[in-house]
Chains A and B, each alone.
Chain A
Amino acid sequence: SSLDVPFPSSREANIALRSLSPDREPRKGGISKELTVSGSTRWSADEARILRVSVDSFLDHLLLVLETMEMFGSPVSQ
């Protein structure tokens, strides 16, 4: 299954991707997810329960990224 998340710009989508992708899934087996730069995410899981926990957690972290971006300004140009 896949989830599409729209962003105002690809710059912000990239920031979110790079903030959310480094950490490994806590549970070793049974779950994997793939984040792509177009802002969509693809999950695959052995069990629905594991999938739900992982999705919940991801969405919560995504919200945190969005709130951080909102509070601390748009990305500065290099």
Chain B
Amino acid sequence: MTNAAMTIVIGFEGSANKIGVGIIRNGEVLSNPRRTYITPPGQGFMPSDTARHHRAVILSILKEALEQAGLKPADIDCVAYTKGPGMGAPLVTVAIVARTVAQLWGKPLLGVNHCIGHIEMGRLITKANNPTVLYVSGGNTQVIAYSERRYRIFGETIDIAVGNCLDRFARVIKISNDPSPGYNIEQMAKKGSHYVELPYTVKGMDVSFSGILSYLEDAADKLLSSGQCTAEDLCFSLQETVFSMLVEITERAMAHCGSQEVLIVGGVGCNLRLQEMMGVMCKERGAKLFATDERFCIDNGAMIAQAGWEMFRSGQVTALEDSWITQRYRTDEVEVTWRD
């Protein structure tokens, strides 16, 4: 009989341009190697190229994960992987390897919701009790709170994710994608000082970013060539605008839920200016802010392992026939059987 506390879970993640394999035992991250598919400045990452990237490295990352954890396949108790949401071709590539090793090693399989992976990793690392969660990345922007066995979406983007807005703006002004466009925007923003007025689009509990992006796609060249502002000023202005919007909808959800904790997860959550602005709002409300560093904010395998562990210990398992991946997978579709 397996002691659930000592269960060792391996998690596979590759829904966007990061491919990672992580191993967790009893809430301890034993290994978490990851690679990022980085495109040249001005270019985004396409599904088939991304899948090709993941395919080329996934088996060596898997080997690395086992070696760094000092484990053999026989030590693994279950295999978790990202069922969705995300890009189709990369998701399939990763799922195929997860299914194959699960069968080879005779272990149960767990299809994990990517968003819930972020949430459970955030809860594990920060020990936040029952926070209002702001999940912000290149693919997702949601404000989430737990209630009665569901992670309920209180507010979200009605078009593109905030990270997508940032990434595509980076392409407009040809900022490097290494290590990530968002990181480079953050560094440039620190050197900006002139605030350029941009559309501010909060819609009740929700936000919209496609209008801001279109505005910048049209206006950036003119603003820069006329000398009205620098690229650094645009980075600064964009961050101030979109982050204010995120702070506003997070605060609105906190007020609804009577919550005194905020947890920021997802790649955009690495941004220190966002954390700073959220911190100011939290302080005003007497609330606590929780965030993780780039090891866990950015997509990684261990977060999938952690969510898989929670699912497994509360009795969930994914049958192979049901292990198909899905590009759309709402956070509130999952029954959170591991919480009261």
Contact = CB atoms under 8 A, between A and B. Distances in A.
A7 to B, nearest CB: 13
Interface of A: 15-16, 18-24, 26, 60-61, 64-65, 67-69, 71-76, 78
Q: 10 closest A-B pairs (Cβ-Cβ)?
A: A19-B99, A22-B324, A68-B100, A15-B103, A19-B100, A18-B320, A23-B324, A22-B323, A76-B106, A65-B100
B99 A64 contact: no
A68 B59 contact: yes
Contacts of B322: 22
Interface in B306-323: 320-323
A58 to B, nearest CB: 11
Given A18-B103, A22-B323, A65 B59 contact: no
B334 to A, nearest CB: 18
Contact of B104 (A22, A67, A73): A73
B99 A71 contact: no
Contact of B320 (A22, A72, A74, A78): A22
Contact of B100 (A15, A21, A24, A60): A15
Nearest to A74: B104
Contacts of B220: none
Interface stretch (B90-98, B158-166, B180-188, B258-266): B90-98
B105 interface: yes
A64 B73 CA distance: 18
A19 B103 contact: yes
Contacts of B96: 19-20, 61, 64-65, 68
B99 A18 contact: yes
Nearest to B72: A73
Q: Is the interface of A mostly helix, strand, loop or mixed?
A: helix
Given A65-B100, A72-B105, A74-B104, 12 more contacts: A19-B99, A19-B100, A19-B103, A21-B321, A22-B324, A64-B93, A67-B59, A68-B96, A68-B100, A72-B73, A72-B101, A73-B104
A15 B89 CA distance: 20
B95 A68 contact: no
Nearest to A63: B55
A31 to B, nearest CB: 15
Interface of B: 55, 59, 62-63, 73-74, 88-89, 92-93, 95-97, 99-101, 103-106, 320-325
Contacts of A60: 55
A23 B63 CA distance: 25
B104 A69 contact: yes
A18 B98 CA distance: 11
Contacts of B99: 18-19, 22
B321 A75 contact: no
A54 to B, nearest CB: 13
A22 B321 contact: yes
B63 A71 contact: yes
B88 A69 contact: no
A19 B92 CA distance: 10
Contacts of B101: 68, 72
Contacts of A76: 74, 104-106
A68 B339 CA distance: 35
B325 A23 contact: yes
Nearest to A77: B106
Contacts of A68: 59, 96-97, 100-101, 104
A78 B106 contact: yes
Contacts of B74: 76
B71 to A, nearest CB: 13
